[in-house]
Amino acid sequence: MNVPTRLHRPIFRCLQCLNRRPPLPIKPRSNLRQPRWRLLSSSSPSARPSPTPSPPPPPPPPPPPAAAAATPRPDAITQHRLDAQQRAHHQRRMYYAATGMAACMLAIWILATSIDIAPEKTEGPAGPPPPSGPASAPTGHPAVPSMPRTIRIADTDYTLLGLCVRT
């Protein structure tokens, strides 16, 4: 891949996190003291329980042997090889993750484009057809006693739906 030289510094600045070592795991603190008693909400001295004696603390672990305590640091060549192996491992994991992401995106696209779904029918009444009774429906108003069920305007039939009653 040919990258212009003016882009080298920003690219390497963005990718510098790949060269860092992962942080060390956090060790739990075992020297936290547990409370000996719990105070109740009442402030009277009789409501407070008396402190219970705590068990004696366990003895401290024996110190490690002197040979195990002094771990020699690897020389520069060995350290360079270890760092190169670690970088290669992380680079490989990034490639696998990017390949998996691309494969998932491709699978979703294939799935979305290969299934033929019939479009929903949006025209026409959703319910049962209008009743096929008389050509007019009563309105219930003395001024207009009935209304025609079908009106033809400009070569289009308009059908009355409902009871034609205003409330």
Question: Residue 136: is its pLDDT beyond 60?
Answer: yes
Q: How far apart are CA 164 and CA 87, in angstroms?
A: 79
101 part of a folded domain: yes
Among residues 139, 157, 137, the alpha carbon closest in space to that of 149 is found at 137
105 part of a folded domain: yes
Question: Residue 167: is its pLDDT beyond 50?
Answer: no
Q: How confident is the model at residue 27 (pLDDT cuts 50, 70, 90)?
A: low
Q: How many domains are there within the chain? A: 1
93 part of a folded domain: yes
Q: How confident is the model at residue 150 (pLDDT cuts 50, 70, 90)?
A: confident
Question: Residue 119: is its pLDDT beyond 70?
Answer: yes
DSSP assignment of 6-46 equals GGHHHHHHHGGGGGSPPPPPPPPP--PPPPS----S--STT
Cα–Cα distances in angstroms (integers) from residue 55 to residues 32, 62, 77, in the given order = 15, 21, 52
Question: Residue 59: is its pLDDT beyond 80?
Answer: yes
97 part of a folded domain: yes
**Structural domain for 96, as ranges:** 76-114
151 or 19, higher pLDDT: 151
